[in-house]
Structure 1
Amino acid sequence: MTPGRGAAGGDRHVDAFLRHLADERNLSEHTLTAYRGDLDDLRRFLTDYYGTPEWRWPTVDRLTLRSFLGSLERRGLARRTAARKLSALRTFFAFLHLEGEVESDPTRGVRTPKGDRPLPEFLSRGEMDAVFEVAETRAADNTLRGTRDLVILELLYGSGVRLSELHGLDRADLDLVSEQMKVRGKGRKERVVPITEPAALAVRRYELRRAEAIAVARRPDRRALLVNPSGRRLSRRGIQRTVHELIEEGGGTETAGVHSLRHSFATHLLDGGADLMSVKELLGHVSLSTTQIYTHTSRERLKQVHRQAHPRSE
């Protein structure tokens, strides 16, 4: 086995692991970059820990990894960040063990750091109404941008899709007759989600302006649902900027953005009586525990209402 050679040098095992994730699990470039960053973080620590860049992966044991987690805490990193890094290391060492590069997986004896999970930020129904009023006013101008902005809002809040899922949508992914669309989530897994009737109407109005932009463009992206004035697929940053502007004009907080619309979608469904399993499927979550955070959000909101309204509450 080749030495670790520190974070600055190459490591064929890390490279092989990342190729495995890309080829076998179809992970996005963004996710692969995050994995590499976490492994580089560990490699830097190991070079300092062992006092040499010539360490090898089989020398890494449970106590070494616990020392690594301790170093993260001393650096002031949140426990949630440490837990995410440990999760990446578990996947990496499982790969090395499967490939016969290490005799045993040292992460098995390391406990995941536990910490309070922050409640997701979401907008109230009244706040969402204000944001939609801004978007509908823009759409009334019947411009490419105005009609497109309303489509963005309708699909993010009406269907709870992620930013990456909305960005990657092709026009062929939407079936306006059956009011549903096909999205590609994490790991490029496909799922079908419903779209609201207002969303379908917004798409139909936007399609005329989209067709005009594509018709005059030199190199248009004819597949993309959301396009810019040049007829190319609207960037993720463009979607984020649009949502931030709509929320800001609607009187929302500065920190609210695309993620807030997905959180609002889930919270309002549960408030309306939807069951947790259905919300899990709509969001495309792998684990039910990920979806359960929204039940906590609803409970906290009810507690706040109780504190503010009940005469016996301070």
Structure 2
Amino acid sequence: MSLAISPAARAAMAEWLAHLRALNGAAENTITAYAADVSGFLAFMAQHRGGTEGLAGLVTLPQSDMRAWMAHERGRGVGARSLARALSSVKGFTAWVADRENLDATAALSTRAPKFRRKLPRPLAETAAMDVLATVGNDAREEWIAARDTAVVTLLYGCGLRISEALGLTGAASPLPGVLRITGKGGKERLVPVLPAAQKAVAAYAALCPYDLTPNAPLFRGARGGALNPRLISGAMERVRARLGLPATATPHALRHSFATHLLSAGGDLRTIQELLGHASLSTTQAYTAVDTARLMEVYAKAHPRA
């Protein structure tokens, strides 16, 4: 179906993606998702409207055509959340073309996304998080690998890093300073305080690591000396949650959720937590208030059961 996309639309999409890479610093996975979303949309419209569409025709689409595309996506099993993301991609492309070509894209841009219930973060209890840090290296076949896994999960929970951010650190970060400068999604930089426990865990790993941790090379290494694959940390978490009886939601990313939730419970304000996590929007961080409220109500229900 993608062959039906007009050369003009294909060229415009390529320019838009290049623009996102260059100016917005979008991650490659994000670019790939945008490309898939917009390609699917353009291909559908070419078939739906009976031929390849020029840019003007694509940008000035009526809402009836937008709804037809959304109905098609739902019909092939795309969920509301995924469709909302695809619509956001399409609107981004449409707005960019409309601005460049001086076209009116009001109808397409005013199309409403399907409603869906946002999934709440699933943090670990504080005791469970500490148990993970204490035992995640127990199954490692070598002492330095045990220290490595412990250091990584300590950074996730102690600093609220994403797994990609922790594994993106280089040897220049060792020994860990009191504050890390982290480059997150979209190339956005933030300063993250480093707890002594994280400094100690990374120092223990660095002392045992058999490879030379040069400033420009990855800090965390795999068994053969290459950059550590995130799947190995996921595997370590799978083993530790089986041993501790934790739910399947106890993933590496759950440690980041736990960092934010426990910080909020301790009195941290949302704006500060937003900055520490590197969220672009405060609304993303506000999900943790719902988690905190849900946990409070659970405790209340246990303490005050119905007669």
Q: Same fold (TM over 0.5)?
A: yes
Unaligned runs of 5+ in 2: none
Shift of the 148–205 alpha-carbon distance from structure 1 to 2, 3 Å rule, reads: same
Task: Report Cα offsets for 1:203-225 as digits up to 9, x if no partner.
Answer: 11111222x2238xxxx885211
1:92 Cα shift?
0.5
Task: Report Cα offsets for 1:236-281 as digits up to 9, x if no partner.
Answer: 2233323333333332122431221111111111111111111111
User: What secondary structure is seen at the aligned counterpart in 2 of 1:214?
Assistant: coil
Task: Report Cα offsets for 1:156-206 as digits up to 9, x if no partner.
Answer: 011111122112111323563x52212110112221101211111111111
Moved more, 125-134 or 244-253: 244-253
Which amino acid is 2:4 matched to? G
- The percentage of counterpart residues that share the same residue type is 32
Partner of 1:32: 31
Please tell me whether residue 284 in structure 1 is matched to residue 278 in structure 2: yes
Please tell me whether residue 58 in structure 1 is matched to residue 56 in structure 2: yes
Moved more, 70-79 or 59-68: 70-79
**8 A Cα contact 1:5 1:55, kept in partner:** no
Partner of 1:258: 252
Shift of the 167–260 alpha-carbon distance from structure 1 to 2, 3 Å rule, reads: same
1:230 Cα shift?
2.3
User: What secondary structure is seen at the aligned counterpart in 2 of 1:191?
Assistant: strand
Unaligned runs of 5+ in 1: none
Which amino acid is 1:173 matched to? A
Tell me the distance in 1 between the aligned counterparts of 2:124 and 2:301: 19
User: What secondary structure is seen at the aligned counterpart in 2 of 1:192?
Assistant: strand
Please tell me whether residue 305 in structure 1 is matched to residue 299 in structure 2: yes
User: What secondary structure is seen at the aligned counterpart in 1 of 2:150?
Assistant: helix
**8 A Cα contact 1:160 1:261, kept in partner:** yes
Partner of 1:119: 120
1:73 Cα shift?
2.8
Q: Over aligned residue pairs, what C-alpha RMSD do you find? A: 2.5
Which amino acid is 2:112 matched to? R
**8 A Cα contact 1:89 1:107, kept in partner:** no
Please tell me whether residue 239 in structure 1 is matched to residue 238 in structure 2: no
1:101 Cα shift?
6.9
Tell me the distance in 2 between the aligned counterparts of 1:304 and 1:110: 38
Partner of 1:153: 153
Which amino acid is 2:97 matched to? L
Superposed, which structure 2 residues align to 1:197-276 within 5 Å?
Answer: 197-210=196-209, 212-214=210-212, 223-276=217-270
Shift of the 136–241 alpha-carbon distance from structure 1 to 2, 3 Å rule, reads: closer
Moved more, 271-280 or 302-311: 302-311
1:148 Cα shift?
0.2
Using structure 1 for the length normalisation, give the TM-score.
0.87
Which amino acid is 1:202 matched to? A
Tell me the distance in 2 between the aligned counterparts of 1:114 and 1:308: 33
User: What secondary structure is seen at the aligned counterpart in 2 of 1:213?
Assistant: coil
User: What secondary structure is seen at the aligned counterpart in 1 of 2:182?
Assistant: strand
Tell me the distance in 1 between the aligned counterparts of 2:75 and 2:167: 38
1:132 Cα shift?
2.1
Shift of the 289–94 alpha-carbon distance from structure 1 to 2, 3 Å rule, reads: same
Shift of the 106–92 alpha-carbon distance from structure 1 to 2, 3 Å rule, reads: farther
1:235 Cα shift?
1.8
| Residue correspondences, number | 302
